Structure 1
Amino acid sequence: MQRGVLLVPGNRLRDGVWAAGTAEENLTVPVLEDFQNWKGLDARKIRTLATRLMQRARVHPAEPEFPVTDFSGGNQQKLVFMKWLQLNPQVLLLDEPTQGVDPGAAKLLLEEMVEAAKAGAAVAMFSGDHEQLVATCHRVLVLHQGRIVAELAGKLSPKPRYSKRVTDQSPCEAASRRPLTPARSDS
């Protein structure tokens, strides 16, 4: 955090939220020092921030005092995103950011990722959702056994070429056998 590198982990329940805490506690833990005054913590300002972040992410219900485990997976993931994005990271690492969330939550999370990049953050997304990677990223590196085996860059078609060639093998297995070039579209 001190160097501006933040991770949104793939397993939100194990690594992304404090399961015993409320939405408010989860959202504000990285910025609590900002709410200290001579009496301790300013609970009203903490609640205001948590409510604002929940509304921005369209978390339903927008009830900061609810236990974080009472929220759906998509809303929990939105809480994890908001917790870290409020710090304006220089580097944002996303591990399967939309896995297990509904399409509406996935769209919002990807929009927030793009906004972070527009604000100057370097964003690295790790995902098995190939179509999402191509639709969202300007550059995709295919890794196999810790090595880069293909690079897709520039204007990409909605479906990577390897998705049409692969039958029973994963894209990584296919890429490790033959270097790929991106499937480009002229539009």
Structure 2
Amino acid sequence: MKILLATGNKNKIKEIKKILNIKNIDVLSIKDGIEIPDVIEDGNTFEENSKKKALEIAKFTNMITIADDSGLCVKALDGKPGIYSARYSGEHATDEENNKKLIQDLKGIENRKAKFVCVITLAKPTGETYSFKGEMFGEIIDEPRGKEGFGYDPYFYIPKYKKTTAEMPDKKNEISHRALAIKLLKEKLSEILK
């Protein structure tokens, strides 16, 4: 059985493959030479974007497809950057630029509570979709810590572990928003693939 990961983000491909890791399922991506169309993520929620991406690419490739939409939601910023996390400081922003804007926007704000949200959608070329949501809670710190991970990881601090997600890559793959969403998908996968 082959399942396609609908993302061009090499970090996400690596992370999802590591977490998904299911016997007898070959997880493919653009790294395997499969071309996928650019999908305009114009939904208002993580779920809308995740579903749209999975469905369009499943129909285009005629393969069962998994897509995710994820981001950082900061309480004091009314949930921003949210669905705009990857382009918080502009359309083709780097992680560094997005983090710089985040820290600037939080200047002088004491409440640093935040969460990472991930919605994973599995879509069949026939049009059926199944979505699963995971959340990971923490807070934003001013100085980056850790060299692993990507995106906002160096600034996302989890008090329980006294570390940022960039300081604990193996643990992150167990407790992250993406890991929780994938775990829910894995629990239903044999039922979905019948």
TM-score, shorter chain, exceeding 0.5:
no
Structure number with greater Rg is 1
- Tell me the TM-score normalised to structure 2 length: 0.27
- Tell me the TM-score normalised to structure 1 length: 0.28
Which structure dedicates a bigger proportion of its chain to strand? 2
